[in-house]
């Protein structure tokens, strides 16, 4: 009982500290807002037909073949388009292709939309599609993280100016969904060839509803209306500015003072402040994103399965969801959400059993007081609190957790890929294909960018098997076995499926928060 009380006290203490940090000296203002809610005036007076959005980070590279970050998709979904599109409700629909059909097992034909042009005036046609995929599948694309998603495509065959065939070298049951994603958005051949890849990284051109007209790294991204957009009457806004504000307390202050209209990544501790404002609205949305603390299985003691299982038993995930996330999260048994095809409902998350954790650690020969390094992004206040809770839980079973807060971009782009993120590190994964294939392949296949060390022959065999058939029932069966194998191997401490919180100024109309960070802004307006 004493141990449980000490954990509870620690959780409450850290929760109080986070509340204090998030308020950033504005508790008096928030209280006043609560007592005089009906008297608050909207501080946004003269912004006109534009909005400003506060985001946590930006990818520092806008070339779609070079990134796989949700921060890219938040902005670039408005700049680029693919052959296939996906609605805010996650339904596939035509994009730059009006229709498609399989002519045979190895030929997927697309009929392209006519009358579309890139932001620089270049025409969209079959040549642009072929150039895009030649580049994605060629030497330049193979350097980046997107190549693995599309290497089932052998080449693109031009039938006529507005018809192309994707010639496949292997079956790909998730190809259409992936084409609605990031890497295969269509780019302008002439522009890329004349300007070069380096220039394109910072000056992207697509066919989307907005064109990028300003970019200051780590500060702001400016999008302006594409007057020649192929969807008539859209977009409704003239301008959208994304301001990069890593600290959640600063984003909230900017929102409260009217400097931004939409705040991404509202912390749970900030939700009450938003709800109490008369000119702000809190919106929540279930996501396919999952969070874990992944183990570097190349580092002792995490090369031992028993140790990885012990950590899973040592941490009370349900308490973290209830007490830290205020219920804004769902427990997970493997590294995927309930929205994912391949999720196994028969598997239940590791239960909280510290005694079993101690037993497994003893059997593995792990000495009491063993130190473990955890790396987390420094701009995520909620996850700092989660890390602190995990530290207390691990202390109860004899382990010492050292928490290292680092820049988010450095963690994702450098430390994790190079195996320098300690014994454990925070990993958030968007699950953007809504199919476990994408997550499983990139997380568990040897040699993938964000998998510095994990490998297993059985996992590799099952991943190859699920990609060899388009029979969804057969794939579901394979995924069931794969999830059972991964559950046993425990390559990460699975924490929760995320529920995202957005704060929106009520002047903004028709904004629907996206399930997977990909903001769709063409229908958004202001009053």
For range 68-95, the mean pLDDT: 94
239 secondary structure, DSSP code? E
In DSSP notation, 496-524 reads EEEEEEEEEETTEES----TTS----TT-
Q: Would you say residue 5 has pLDDT above 50?
A: no
For range 211-221, the mean pLDDT: 98
Reading the block at residue 100, the tokens are: 């498609």
Length of the chain: 527
| 466 CA to centre of own chain | 23
| 112 CA to centre of own chain | 29
Q: Give the pLDDT score at 67.
A: 86
For range 462-482, the mean pLDDT: 93
State whether residue 495 is helix, strand or coil: strand
Q: Give the pLDDT score at 498.
A: 92
pLDDT greater at residue 31 or residue 75: 75
Instruction: Choose which CATH entry (2.60.40.10, 3.90.76.10, 3.40.1390.10, 3.40.640.10) describes domain 57-236.
Output: 3.90.76.10
Q: Would you say residue 145 has pLDDT above 60?
A: yes
CA distances from 200 to 180, 187, 193, 413 (A): 21, 10, 9, 19
Q: Give the pLDDT score at 433.
A: 85
Task: State the Cα torsion 159-163-169-175 to the nearest 10°.
Answer: 180
Percent of the chain whose pLDDT exceeds 70: 93
Beta strand ranges found along 161-207 (DSSP E): 163-168
Q: Would you say residue 318 has pLDDT above 90?
A: yes
Is residue 401 within 8 Å of residue 395, measured between CB atoms?
A: yes
Beta pairing partners, 139: none
Confidence of residue 90 (pLDDT cuts 50, 70, 90): confident
State whether residue 44 is helix, strand or coil: coil
Q: Give the pLDDT score at 182.
A: 82
Is residue 166 within 8 Å of residue 153, measured between CB atoms?
A: yes
Beta pairing partners, 222: 214, 241
Q: Give the pLDDT score at 451.
A: 95
Cα–Cα distance measured from residue 370 to residue 366, given in angstroms and rounded to the nearest whole number: 7
Confidence of residue 38 (pLDDT cuts 50, 70, 90): low
- By the 10 Å C-beta count (0-12 exposed, 13-18 middle, 19+ buried), 420 is classed as middle
Q: Give the pLDDT score at 511.
A: 98
Cα–Cα distance measured from residue 294 to residue 237, given in angstroms and rounded to the nearest whole number: 41
Positive or negative, the CA dihedral 404, 414, 222, 115 is negative
User: What are residue 462's phi and psi, to 5 degrees?
Assistant: -70, -35
Q: Give the pLDDT score at 46.
A: 92
CATH class of 2-15+289-499: alpha beta
CA-closest candidate to residue 396, choices 17, 18, 5: 5
- Domain extent listing, the chain: 2-15+289-499, 57-236
For the CA atoms of the chain, what is the radius of gyration?
A: 24
Cα–Cα distance measured from residue 276 to residue 78, given in angstroms and rounded to the nearest whole number: 31
Q: Would you say residue 211 has pLDDT above 50?
A: yes
Q: Give the pLDDT score at 250.
A: 98
* pLDDT, tens only, 258-287: 999 999 999 988 999 999 999 999 999 989
* pLDDT, tens only, 497-509: 999 999 999 999 9
The mean-pLDDT minimum among 21-25, 83-87, 139-143, 387-391 falls in 21-25
| 297 CA to centre of own chain | 23
pLDDT greater at residue 374 or residue 413: 374
Cα–Cα distance measured from residue 464 to residue 452, given in angstroms and rounded to the nearest whole number: 20
Average pLDDT of the chain is: 92
Q: Would you say residue 315 has pLDDT above 70?
A: yes
Contacting residues for 261 by C-beta, under 8 A, at least 6 apart: 44, 47, 51, 52, 53, 255, 504, 505, 507, 508, 526
Q: Give the pLDDT score at 148.
A: 86
* pLDDT, tens only, 155-178: 999 999 999 999 999 888 899 999
First to last CA, the chain: 56
Q: Give the pLDDT score at 17.
A: 42
Cα–Cα distance measured from residue 453 to residue 436, given in angstroms and rounded to the nearest whole number: 20
Q: Give the pLDDT score at 21.
A: 41
Confidence of residue 37 (pLDDT cuts 50, 70, 90): low
For range 314-336, the mean pLDDT: 96
Q: Would you say residue 13 has pLDDT above 80?
A: no
């Amino acid at each position: 009982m004493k141990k449980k009380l000490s954990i509870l006290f620690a959780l409450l203490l850290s929760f109080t500290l986070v509340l204090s940090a998030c308020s950033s000296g504005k508790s008096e203002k928030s209280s006043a807002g609560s007592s005089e809610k009906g008297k608050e005036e909207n501080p946004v007076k003269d912004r006109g037909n534009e909005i400003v959005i506060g985001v946590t980070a930006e990818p520092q590279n806008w070339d779609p073949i070079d990134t796989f970050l949700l921060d890219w998709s938040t902005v670039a979904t408005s700049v680029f388009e693919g052959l296939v599109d996906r609605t805010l409700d996650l339904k596939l629909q035509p994009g730059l292709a009006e229709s498609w059909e399989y002519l045979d097992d190895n030929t997927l034909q697309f009929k392209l939309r006519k009358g579309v042009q890139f932001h620089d005036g270049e025409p969209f046609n079959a040549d642009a599609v072929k150039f895009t995929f030649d580049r994605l599948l060629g030497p330049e694309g193979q350097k980046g993280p997107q190549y693995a998603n599309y290497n089932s495509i052998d080449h693109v065959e031009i039938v006529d100016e507005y018809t192309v065939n994707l010639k496949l070298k292997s079956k790909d049951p998730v190809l259409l969904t992936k084409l609605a994603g990031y890497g295969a958005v269509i780019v302008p051949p002439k522009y890329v060839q004349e300007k070069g890849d380096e220039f394109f990284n910072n000056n992207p051109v697509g066919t989307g509803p907005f064109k990028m007209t300003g970019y200051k790294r780590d500060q702001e991204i400016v999008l302006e209306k594409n007057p020649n957009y192929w969807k008539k009457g859209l977009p409704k806004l003239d301008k959208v500015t994304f301001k990069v504000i890593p600290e959640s307390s600063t984003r909230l202050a900017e929102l409260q003072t009217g400097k931004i209209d939409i705040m991404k990544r509202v912390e749970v501790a900030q939700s009450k402040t938003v709800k109490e404002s008369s000119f702000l609205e809190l919106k929540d949305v279930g996501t396919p994103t999952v969070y874990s603390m992944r183990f570097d299985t190349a580092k002792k003691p995490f090369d031992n399965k028993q140790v990885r299982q012990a950590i899973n038993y040592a941490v009370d995930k349900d308490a973290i969801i209830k007490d830290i996330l205020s219920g804004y999260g769902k427990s997970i048994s493997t590294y995927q959400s309930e929205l994912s095809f391949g999720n196994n409902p028969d598997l239940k998350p590791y239960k909280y059993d510290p005694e079993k954790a101690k037993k497994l650690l003893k059997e593995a020969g792990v000495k009491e007081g063993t130190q473990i390094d955890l790396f987390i992004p420094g701009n995520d206040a909620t996850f700092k609190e989660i890390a602190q809770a995990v530290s207390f839980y691990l202390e109860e079973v004899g382990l010492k957790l050292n928490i290292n807060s680092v820049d988010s971009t450095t963690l994702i782009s450098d430390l994790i890929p190079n195996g320098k993120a300690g014994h454990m590190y925070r990993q958030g994964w968007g699950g953007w294909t809504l199919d476990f294939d994408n997550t499983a392949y990139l997380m568990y296949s040897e040699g993938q960018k964000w998998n510095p060390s994990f490998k297993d022959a059985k996992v590799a065999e099952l991943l190859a098997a699920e990609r060899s058939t388009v029979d969804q029932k057969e794939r579901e069966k394979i995924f069931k076995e794969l999830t059972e194998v991964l559950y046993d191997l425990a390559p990460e401490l699975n924490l929760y499926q995320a529920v995202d919180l957005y704060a929106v100024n009520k002047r903004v109309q028709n904004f629907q928060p996206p399930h997977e960070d990909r903001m769709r802004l063409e229908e958004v307006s202001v009053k």
